[in-house]
């Protein structure tokens, strides 16, 4: 599989086609409509573990085109640990500081791969993801929490090294293409200077041998078999934003709050893992 051949040395691979352009644009339209219809719940619904609320997202995450590429990297026994949107609305200052995903997730060993599926095009003008090729081989680096305004990472965590322009590669994707990135690669993204949203759906996959420090979270077996039993199984969504789906989603976030976010004192959310505010909890029920 050509696109993933250099993953071990680069720590990322792209572009890999997983949806048709029309399908991807259809999803982008659907989720942006949802923002109009249900503005109060959209952040919660499209945040952490949105795949437990939307059968369509769960289905995308299990497509052969996605899992074949993921299997190439982490082997045949695959769990979906979490998933969430990264949406940069038109002409907004939202950005993602340079960071390593592995910093707060408490997963070991660091054999985690993210599939970032573009529902819109993602390019330099609208703040596509950027990576430092090979940086996943530099181990876990110190981060500082900046809580900077407009930083899409809620702690605003930033890697404590200078990233030079010459070492940066931009991941440019068309709607329906995905990139894969290693949990330790240095990555970030700049603001969206265009008049259209930039929408990415990030799915975090782990091989079944990976362990969660500090307790059990949920993970869905999407391929192969699980002989380790390190995670609980979530209920599969049947109805978009249905009552049972919200209940499962709520349980999964509570578990993440207990296990992954217990030290996140100031954070109202941590990237990909929203802490549920009282308001959202009520909405979720």
- Distance in Å, CB of 87 to ligand AKG, minimum: 9
User: CA end-to-end span of the chain, whole Å?
Assistant: 44
The sign of the torsion formed by the CA atoms of 264, 268, 271, 272 equals positive
- Distance in Å, CB of 272 to ligand AKG, minimum: 7
Is 52 or 96 the residue whose CB approaches ligand AKG more closely? 96
Q: Say whether residue 200 binds ligand AKG (CB under 6 A).
A: yes
Helix (H) / strand (E) element for 242: namely: none
Give strand pairing partners of 79: 206, 221
Is 114 or 212 the residue whose CB approaches ligand AKG more closely? 114
Is 96 or 260 the residue whose CB approaches ligand AKG more closely? 96
Q: Where are the beta strands (DSSP E) in the chain?
A: 12-17, 78-88, 96-99, 107-108, 113-118, 129-131, 143-145, 157-159, 169-170, 177-182, 187-189, 198-207, 211-212, 220-223, 269-270, 273-274
Token duo for residue 98: 């340079």
The sign of the torsion formed by the CA atoms of 10, 190, 101, 200 equals negative
Number of residues that bind ligand AKG (CB under 6 A): 10
Is 96 or 107 the residue whose CB approaches ligand AKG more closely? 96
Phi, psi at 156, each rounded to 5°: 60, 35
Judged by CB under 6 A, the chain residues 179 through 198 that form the site for ligand AKG are: 187, 189
Phi, psi at 84, each rounded to 5°: -170, 160
Is 184 or 187 the residue whose CB approaches ligand AKG more closely? 187
- Tokens 């809580």: give the residue: 147
Kindly tell me which residue out of 86, 119, 201, 231 binds ligand AKG, with binding defined by CB under 6 A.
86
- Distance in Å, CB of 167 to ligand AKG, minimum: 17
Q: Say whether residue 101 binds ligand AKG (CB under 6 A).
A: yes
Among 257, 284, 276, 278, which Cα is nearest to 104's?
Answer: 257
- Distance in Å, CB of 204 to ligand AKG, minimum: 8
Is 34 or 191 the residue whose CB approaches ligand AKG more closely? 191
Is 183 or 284 the residue whose CB approaches ligand AKG more closely? 183
Residue 108-147 contact track with ligand AKG, rule CB under 6 A, x = bound: ------x-x------------x------------------
Kindly tell me which residue out of 58, 69, 74, 96 binds ligand AKG, with binding defined by CB under 6 A.
96
Question: Contact residues for ligand AKG (CB under 6 A)?
Answer: 86, 96, 101, 114, 116, 129, 187, 189, 200, 202
């Amino acid at each position: 599989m050509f696109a993933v051949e250099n993953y071990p040395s680069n720590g990322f691979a792209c572009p890999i086609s997983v949806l048709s352009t029309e399908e991807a644009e259809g999803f982008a339209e659907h989720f942006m409509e949802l923002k109009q219809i249900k503005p109060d719940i959209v952040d919660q619904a499209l945040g952490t573990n949105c795949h437990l609320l939307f059968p369509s997202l769960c289905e995308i995450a299990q497509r052969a085109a996605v899992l074949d590429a993921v299997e190439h990297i982490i082997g045949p026994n695959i769990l979906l640990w979490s998933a969430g949107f990264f949406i940069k609305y038109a002409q907004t200052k939202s950005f993602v500081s340079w960071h390593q995903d592995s910093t707060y997730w408490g997963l070991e060993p660091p054999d985690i791969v993210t599939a970032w599926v573009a529902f819109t095009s993602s390019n330099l003008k609208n703040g596509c993801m950027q990576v430092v090729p090979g940086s996943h081989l530099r181990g876990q680096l110190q981060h500082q929490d900046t809580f900077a305004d407009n930083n899409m990472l809620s702690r605003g965590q930033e890697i404590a090294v200078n990233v030079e322009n010459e070492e940066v590669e931009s991941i440019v994707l068309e709607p329906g293409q995905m990139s894969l990135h290693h949990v330790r690669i240095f990555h970030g993204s700049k603001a969206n200077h265009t008049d259209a949203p930039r929408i990415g759906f990030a799915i975090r996959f782990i091989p079944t041998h990976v362990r969660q420090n500090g307790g059990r979270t949920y993970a869905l077996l999407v391929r192969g078999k699980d002989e380790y039993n390190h995670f609980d199984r979530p209920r599969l969504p049947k109805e978009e934003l249905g009552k049972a789906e919200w209940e499962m989603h709520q349980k999964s976030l509570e578990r993440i709050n207990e296990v992954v976010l217990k030290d996140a004192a100031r954070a109202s959310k941590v990237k990909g893992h929203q802490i549920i505010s009282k308001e959202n909890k009520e909405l979720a029920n």
